[in-house]
Chains A and B, each alone.
Chain A
Amino acid sequence: MSETRSQVLIVEDEAQIRHFVRLALEADGCVVQEAGRLADGLLIAGAGAIDLVVLDLGLPDGDGIDFIRAYRGWSDGPVLILSARTEERHKIDALDAGADDYLTKPFGVGELRARVRALMRRRQRAGGEVSPLLEFGDIVVDLAKRQVWRKGEAVHLTPIEYRLLAMMVSHPGQVLTQRRLLAEIWGASYIESSHYLRVYVGHLRQKLEDDPAQPRHFLTETGVGYRFQTGT
């Protein structure tokens, strides 16, 4: 990955899960620290120099969401949630509290590494120069000129479609909850009108995806929100 090795903190009460997550991340050259309890996790995170946190939501001494709230008090470093499938509500709360992405248990090592890499890339980009020109698949987005091209041809987007696109592409690999998208693009009074968001994401897919029913870039996180992904 990068020259200075990334520091990752795993907060998870199950020792075996910590073990294989450590194996997977060390294989990617990360330095891994472990904590089995929320309090220990906060201590390590508070000591500084953590680049990414992998966090289980159900901890013996507290709720993972409390960890996120506390952590967001001093750091905006990426947080990856590990959670069970049936807890959509819980995931949404964690994401709204400031988590960046989640993995549903059980998950494969490949998936874990891909998510961690994506989050790390975003962190590195946030540090360096940001180019207004974005490319994914056969799409080019010029955030400065507010223009979009597909296969070299200009694509016409309505203002709302453009705002939605701009917001999604500026958070690559990150899950954006319905709530957040609705609040930022339509305003707080539209938070319950999720069908607006659904219809406009549909429009974007119609205009920018090869197969709108099987999107490659504008992905649905069912029951939670959406994720933009640059490529497969």
Chain B
Amino acid sequence: MFARSAFADRMSSRQKMVLSVLACVFAAIVASPLRGVLDPANIVMLFLLTVLVVAVSLGRNPAVLAAVLSVLLFDVFFVPPHFSLAVSNLQYLVTFAVMLATALITGHLTATLKEQAADAERREQRTHALYEIASRLAGALNDGQVDEIVSQFVRSEFGGRCRLLLGEVATEVSADNAWYAGELARWVLESGQRQISREEGQVVYLPLKAPMRVRGVLVVQPGEEAALLEGDLALLDALASLVAIAVERLHYVEVAQHSEVEMATERLRSSILSALSHDLRTPLTVLVGLADSIFLIRPSLPEPALENARALRDQATRLAGLVANLLEMARLTAGSVTLRQEWQPLEEVVGSSLKLVGDALGRHRLRVELPRDLPLLRFDAVLIERVLCNLVENAAKYSPADGEIRISAALAGAFVDLAVSDEGAGFPVPESGQLFEMFVRGHSESATPGTGLGLAICRAIVDAHGGRMRVESPPSGGGRIVVSLPRGVPPVVEAEVA
């Protein structure tokens, strides 16, 4: 425990007692030649001084012993009749009583004073030690350093060992449970209360209570014979809160660094995407525009040239659609899409999608069946428009040229089902789920051009809305893709006061 400066502290209590006896005997020997010279009252003073010295240097119990012994010695050697406990003059009884009382009280007071001084010193040392460890913990850069600093502290202050259990106590415990109980550590972590187990030596479990939450458990086992006092527990508590704050600080440093890296990555990703998007779009715009302007040349070019121009324009437009899909997919998978969700009628986005699809529909007949009483839904119109465009384009691509494409919607519990059906060959049933994976196509050998990105994009968008997508092959033939969007609680539009 605390190193005490006095030499006396290193003695056992028996040695102290012996020393106390020796001191009294020494006093008696010194006093005996003076017997004739000094008044007995002054001899008493010599003994009292001895008791005082014993109390100061050896503590309370030796002082009591010295007090009693002094009275006896005084009685035997200095009070007539000498060398006997008998007392000739009864007045000496008063002297004995006063002497004993004075010796005991002096001894007690002195010992108390000394203990208090020692206490104060210990406290001072403790404060210093805490100050030291606080400043060292403040400089710790990772959990390993914290562990090391704490271990050193426990070794020097308690002569024992310790273990720092952070976060998931349970996983660490199984690896090394030589001297502490994992169960108890877990309990301390959950309850946040200090526990002391006394099964095999004393082991203290201290919760690391940081401002936000309990960050872990510090298990301390003091050295062999040192029993923990109340003051030591207070010190351990203080240690635990210092460690807790250090651990929490390190946790947040890590969180901050992590999110900084994340943000930098995010910025880089979106700037690359937008640069890529710009660089791909510019030549495509030129391609489409120039192919188109061939038709403006006057006098008009011969028909074969115009035919080529038309093909050029169509291919460039298709390429533009493809690039748009690829970039959209990149944006969606990069997680850099923030939904601009607003409450709106489904009818509107169906309308704008159909207008956008326009030419791709070719000779297909279109039927839109939306119930009048559909609730408002909350979605990002631009993204859902893309879903619908992809679905309708798909339907047009994989169904007979004069077939019917049907867009319908219906309430389905907590969802609204939006379905796009066609009169094509339907979907290969066993792989229906895979259709929503990237670059997977229903009929891979199909002559119809496509990348298999369309449905993957749809799924990513619908997922982001908390919706679902499924493929159906109705018994009446053809294929149907159903998009389910969550209904939520639409805002109220107050009726107009006419």
Contacts and interface: CB of A to CB of B under 8 A. Distances in A.
Nearest to A105: B285
B295 A106 contact: no
A194 B293 CA distance: 40
B382 A88 contact: yes
Give the most central of A19, A198, A222: most B CB within 10 Å: A222
B347 A194 contact: no
Give the most central of B289, B342, B344: most A CB within 10 Å: B289
A154 interface: no
A20 interface: yes
B296 A109 contact: yes
Contacts of B490: 195
A222 B317 contact: no
Size band of the B side of the interface?
35 or more
A59 B405 CA distance: 42
Interface string A189-222: 0000111101101100100000111110001111
Nearest to A203: B496
A85 interface: yes
Contacts of A194: 342-344
B25 to A, nearest CB: 99
Give the most central of B350, B352, B354, B498: most A CB within 10 Å: B352
Nearest to B385: A222
Given A194-B344, A198-B348, A220-B351, A159 B498 contact: yes
B493 interface: yes
Contacts of A211: 368
Interface string B319-347: 01000100110010000000010111101
Contacts of A14: 282, 285-286
Contact of B288 (A19, A108, A213): A108
Contact of A23 (B293, B313, B352): B293
A158 interface: yes
B376 A214 contact: no
Contact of A222 (B288, B345, B382): B382
A214 B296 contact: no
B292 interface: yes
Nearest to B346: A213
Nearest to A178: B342
A86 B345 contact: no
A214 B357 CA distance: 12
Nearest to A113: B296
A188 interface: no
Nearest to B353: A222
Interface string B343-379: 1110111111011000000000000101000001000
Nearest to A202: B345
B284 interface: yes
Interface of B is mostly: helix
A20 B285 CA distance: 10
A58 interface: yes
B351 A214 contact: yes
B18 to A, nearest CB: 91
A86 B385 CA distance: 13
Contacts, number: 130
A16 interface: yes
A17 B282 CA distance: 8
Contacts of A196: 493
Interface string A39-66: 0000000000000000000100000000
B281 interface: yes
Give the most central of B277, B298, B328: most A CB within 10 Å: B277
A132 B486 CA distance: 45
Contact of A195 (B285, B313, B343, B354): B343
B327 A86 contact: yes
A110 interface: yes
Contacts of B316: 106
A107 interface: yes
Interface string A73-105: 000000000001110100000000000000001
B290 interface: yes
A202 B343 contact: no
A106 B320 CA distance: 7
A106 B493 contact: no
B292 A108 contact: yes
A223 B340 contact: yes
B287 interface: yes
Contacts of A202: 345, 347-348
A107 B288 CA distance: 7
B384 to A, nearest CB: 9
Nearest to B289: A20
A160 interface: yes
Given A112-B289, A201-B348, A212-B351, 5 more contacts: A21-B289, A85-B281, A160-B496, A214-B351, A223-B382
5 contacts: A105-B282, A106-B285, A108-B317, A112-B289, A202-B345
Give me the 7 closest cross-chain CB pairs, A-B, nearest first.
A109-B292, A20-B289, A106-B285, A195-B343, A16-B286, A223-B382, A220-B352
Interface of A: 14, 16-17, 19-21, 23-24, 27, 58, 84-86, 88, 105-110, 112, 158-160, 193-196, 198-199, 201-202, 205, 211-215, 219-223
